[in-house]
Structure formats: structure tokens, C-alpha cells
Copies of this chain bind each other. A is one copy, B any other.
């Protein structure tokens, strides 16, 4: 396999039907583009899903943080750049930069991925794959100047805002609720009036346990700190067929007010 640059760069279009009522790309679709970029980048370099599946392993997204200055508008072309900035035995850290042809930076992303064995669902040694090939692609000097993942605590004061059912369109090829669908369902908790005056400045999600078709998802919210009215912590749980309630995700959403 030809040795590629450490940083991958993939062009996307803010498709008009992927934009919200303000004519800007939905956060869920941006997250989807980032996951695509990660997938293309790792496949092209020989340690992507396409190869891993042949040896019964796969990547699992563990955390994703997105911080934006502005969102691409309908019909704008933009690039998602992505690179791996560190690798440990069981986890990699992968960054994203969202930028256009002229160099305008829309925002950044950070993610953490685990490699698991598809039978046991347990973490597996990343360096054992192709003799640690991924080590040849670590890029530490390209800047991703956003905050690290923050701790998302829930104190017991969180309030149940909504419970929803999951259906056919929520389920990905692994039979799990699609990572992006959590983002969409969570951001659906606010109405158009809120989005007229609030911009999603930062979105963070930590995946705790996988949910499946038919599970009910429950969204619990509390303010991150009492005096910060635009900064929210979330716990998402699933209620399974046998009525057990189990946590699936922790999230943080920080809005900025639009003047």
C-alpha cells in the first residue's frame, strides 16, 4: 500500500436537505461527515474497518467532541481534515478540522476510538494489527486548539425531559443505534425558537453502552453549573424489553447566544 500523508482531507457539500431552518448544516450531518472522514482515512491507510473486519475486529467510537465557530451554509463546500494524534494499546485519539478552500476554519473535533474483537466485544491490542502500522501515521504537530474532553457529571438532580422509541432508521449495520442518531435525538430536545437565538458552540458525547432496535431512550438533563444557563449535561439511558434502565451516553451541549 502506497504511503500516504498523515493527514487526510475529504471534501463535502452542505447539501440543502441536510440544512436546518436557518440554512446551516445540521450538527448530526457534520458528525456523520466526520465519521466518514475517519473511515476513509483509516481504510486508505490499511487500518480501517474494511481490513479489520477480515480479522474479526472493528473500531468503536468512544467519545466525540465538536466545537464550532460557525456552521457551513447550504451549498458550501468544505473539507474535513482528520489525523490520529496519539495511540495507546486500546485507544486512539483522532482529531478533525473543518475548513474551506480559502482556509476559513469552521471548527474542530476530537474523538476517541477503541478497537474491539467482534466476538467478545472486548478491547483488543491496536499495536498487534499489521505490526503497529498505525504508528507510522501519528501526527502531533497539526493544531486542534479546542478543549479536551470534559467530565460530564450528573448529580442526581437531572430532569427527565423526554423518552423516545427507536426504530428501523435508527439502527446501523452492526445492529446498534447509530452514533449520529443520539446527536439528532438529543438536539431535538430544543425547539425552533431556541435555535433562532442559540448556536451550538460545543457538543460532546461519550458512549457508555450500545442500545438496540426497540430500546426506549430516555434523556435526562441538568445545568452544568447553576450560573451557566446555556451549558447542559445529559445522561441518556435505554429501557430494554425487560424494563431494565441502563446508561448509554453522557453528553454536554454548550450554546452561545446569538445577538
Contact = CB atoms under 8 A, between A and B. Distances in A.
Interface of A: 15-23, 26, 28, 32, 35-36, 39, 49-50, 74-75, 167-169, 171-175, 178-180, 184, 187-188, 190-192, 195, 213-214
A171 to B, nearest CB: 5
A173 B21 contact: yes
Given A35-B17, A175-B21, A169 B184 contact: yes
B168 A16 contact: no
List 5 A-B pairs, minimum CB-CB distance, nearest first.
Answer: A167-B188, A169-B184, A23-B173, A21-B171, A168-B188
Contacts of A178: 17
Copies, count = 2
Given A16-B36, A17-B180, A20-B171, 11 more contacts: A15-B32, A17-B36, A20-B168, A20-B169, A21-B174, A21-B175, A26-B169, A168-B187, A168-B188, A169-B187, A191-B214
A20 B173 contact: yes
Contacts of A175: 21, 192
A180 B19 CA distance: 13
Contact of A16 (B17, B173, B188): B173
Given A16-B39, A39-B16, A21 B187 contact: no
A216 B195 CA distance: 20
Contacts of A18: 32
A213 B195 CA distance: 13
Contacts of A188: 167-169
A53 to B, nearest CB: 11
A160 B178 CA distance: 28
6 contacts: A15-B32, A16-B36, A17-B36, A21-B213, A168-B195, A171-B192
A32 B49 contact: no
A28 to B, nearest CB: 7
A143 B179 CA distance: 40
A16 B190 CA distance: 28
